[in-house]
Amino acid sequence: MASHGICDQVAIIGMGCTTFGEHWDRSADDLILDAVSSTTASAGVALEDVDAFWLGTYLSGVSGLSLSRPLRLRGKPVTRVENMCTTGSEALRNACYAVASGAYDMAMAVGVEKLKDSGYSGLLRHSIPSDATGGTLGTTTAPANFSLLGPAYAEKYGVDSDELKTVLTRIAWKNHRNGASNPRAQFRKEVSLETISRSPLVAGQLGIFDCSGVSDGASAAIVVPAKDAHRYTDNPLYVKALSLVSGAADGNVDPGYDFTSFPEVVASARNAYAEASVVDPRTEIAMAEVHDCFTVTELVLMEDLGFVDRGTAWKAVLSGTFDLDGELPVNPDGGLKAFGHPVGASGLRMLFECWLQLRGEAPEDRRIGTLVEGKKLGLTHNLGGGPGECVSFVSIVGTELNS
């Protein structure tokens, strides 16, 4: 058995994204309406033209009614999905496969989350004992779980502790610098390397500026069969790969797991590259939006996604490989770190940056230079859970159909 994928069978014809941040005066319904209206306007279609809807939300709704109510939908199928931090990407995956199957001519994926006025200072979490969030990770916080990656990486690859801190600081600096020029980002201010390195510690080596923002926001996309894309836009994005992998969640009880990799990410990336016929991601991918819930996560992901060899990502970070003007820009919109992380919306927000960059619509001051070199593919990556037990999603999109 194999995952054959749906390369070039589905196209994205419209996208929209709200600002992410502290929307104390706006409800989840308000955010949905904003994202959906901008998406239909982008595609030049009416809401009535959409045949089916998928809503991704972690804890800001419990059924399809969470979308059909604010949109005043009648007689349309609406499915609510949740898969931890890959929730928005899960909505997209379902909408794309529904269109690829021929069941619908047009589908919409919507992601939304309200976290700031939830009463919690961090991300909400389910308390179902049998679920991954109540598994071997127990009641430890997300920063504590992910902080284990740093010392494990440093020991395995012989990186000095102070050097590793410098690497993590530079990742945060890069993403804040990118977010500073993004009008939709939660944090739109550059932060100096000195300020980042001296910020109060949260867990292990992770300081405040090593942790992603908690925010409110929504994003959406409309997909149609690839053969119909040019009926709606001259610049569609073609879906090359959609890969979701769920792990066995046994890493934290497996003596062989060393906290320097996410096996689920490796597997989902391998599947995505096979579906999209990508042989060398470092030279073929124009940009990547990755799940930088913590700076050390982004470091490890550079190796898990095959952008660099094992044990070398820290050197690539320091050399500027993943900067906006680098060989492979990573998180040009600021990432979770600066853009924010409303769980249900994050996956689609990443795709929205691909939509802007690959179509040449990103603001000039944060436009990637790799498109000039002939690269035409964008990658998004989400993970949900933590080291040793997570789900991972990788998508690849492009501006041209494979010949």
End-to-end CA distance of the chain: give it in Å, rounded. 26
Task: Identify the active-site residue in 17, 85, 96, 211.
Answer: 85
Distance separating alpha carbons of residues 17 and 112, to the nearest angstrom:
10
312, HSE (Cβ side, Cα atoms, 13 Å): 10
Active site residue 85: yes
Task: Identify the active-site residue in 23, 341, 354, 390.
Answer: 341
Q: Which residue, among 375, 2, 19, has the nearest Cα to 213 in the 3D structure?
A: 19
Active site residue 211: no
DSSP-H helix ranges across 148-204: 149-157, 161-180, 193-197
Beta pairing, strands 377-386 & 201-203: unpaired
Angle between helices 161-180 and 295-304 (to 10 degrees): 100
Beta pairing, strands 107-113 & 52-56: parallel
Torsion of CA 68, 71, 74, 75, to 10 degrees: -60
User: From residue 259, how far is each of 136, 138, 148, 205, 233 by CA, in Å?
Assistant: 14, 17, 7, 15, 45
Contacts of 63 (CB under 8 A, 6+ apart): 80
Distance separating alpha carbons of residues 11 and 14, to the nearest angstrom:
9
Cβ–Cβ < 8 Å for 339, 347: no
Q: Which residue, among 231, 185, 244, has the nearest Cα to 380 in the 3D structure?
A: 244
Distance separating alpha carbons of residues 396 and 37, to the nearest angstrom:
25
Q: Which residues are catalytic?
A: 85, 341
